[in-house]
Amino acid sequence: MGISLRRATLEDVDLIAPLFDAYRRFYAQSGDLQRARDFLHERVQHGESAILLAERDGQVAGFTQLYPMFSSVRTARVWILNDLFVDEGARRHGVANALLDGAARFAKEQGAAGLMLETSRDNAPARALYRAAGWSEDESQWYSLRFTA
């Protein structure tokens, strides 16, 4: 059957929420399925993100969430690939690559000038995946300023 991708709708939020919750736990956040569901619902409902849902052999296998942004220098839209997660049982079957390809296709179809992402330096598997998919690492462009909630 293979891997299929589609843009998620509000009806898909309950399918994606457990994966999003697992993604957040990977980044040392407390598990909270309702919080994950509510966050996704808000983003989709208000058109604040684009979520691509991957299914493998008819089962939910992974997702990526993209946020729109604009580049003043390029006077164009760019997308941030903010989240990418593949269910543990679906890993090493091409799901992550399909999501990366789908994200690039989506951004191009939207007329974007580019696609950006950030991952932690110690996430060696993700960094290897991105490099293998043709992404460039740029050590000089990311800075962060954190605020306490």
- Give the domain CATH number at 113: 3.40.630.30
- Flag whether 147 is in a domain: no
Separation between Cα atoms, residue 93 and residue 67, nearest integer Å: 26
CA distances in angstroms from 77 to 3, 123, 142, listed in the order given = 28, 28, 18
Write out the two tokens for 132.
């293998």
Give pTM, 2 decimals. 0.88
Total number of domains constituting the chain: 1
Give me the torsion for CA of 59, 62, 67, 71, rounded to 10°: -120
- Walking along the chain (149 residues) 10 residues at a time, the average pLDDT comes out as 92 97 94 98 97 95 96 90 93 93 92 86 85 79 54
- Flag whether 140 is in a domain: no
Whose tokens are 């399909």? That residue is: 98
- Flag whether 111 is in a domain: yes
Q: Name the residue range of residue 45's domain.
A: 3-132
- Flag whether 68 is in a domain: yes
> What is the residue-wise DSSP string for 91-104?
TTTTHHHHHHHHHH
Position 126 scores a pLDDT of 85
DSSP strands (E only) in 37-113: 50-56, 59-71, 76-86
Separation between Cα atoms, residue 140 and residue 120, nearest integer Å: 14
Cα–Cα nearest to 103, from 57, 141, 53: 53
